[in-house]
């Protein structure tokens, strides 16, 4: 089983209806994914609005994925 990482962004928004949104960014080798998430979390966020709501916080994380399952899912979408 080959493991890869999926970089995700977690947006916490305010406004009349506060919310949390998880957005998948891209797949990459796991170590690279962890390093990228750490780098992005150290930088100030450029986004102040998301779907018309103020962005209160953005955090990045790396989820662990089985490369075989990801390939199967991609093939099923074709």
Domain count, the chain: 1
pLDDT for 21? 87
pLDDT for 8? 95
Q: Is the pLDDT score of 1 beyond 80?
A: no
The C-alpha R_g of the chain, in whole angstroms, comes to 15
pLDDT for 52? 85
pLDDT for 12? 92
Residues 24-68 have pLDDT tens digits of 899 999 999 999 999 999 998 888 888 888 999 999 999 998 888
Residue 71: domain span: 3-77
CA torsion, points 4, 46, 13, 59, in degrees to nearest 10?
30
Contact present, 3 and 32 (Cβ < 8 Å): no
């Amino acid at each position: 089983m080959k493991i890869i990482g999926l970089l995700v962004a977690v947006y916490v928004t305010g406004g009349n209806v506060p919310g949390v949104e998880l957005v998948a960014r891209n797949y990459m080798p796991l170590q690279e994914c962890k390093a990228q998430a750490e780098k992005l979390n150290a930088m100030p966020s450029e986004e102040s609005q998301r779907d018309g709501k103020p962005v209160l916080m953005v955090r990045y994380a790396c989820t662990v994925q089985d490369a075989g399952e990801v390939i199967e899912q991609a093939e099923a979408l074709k």
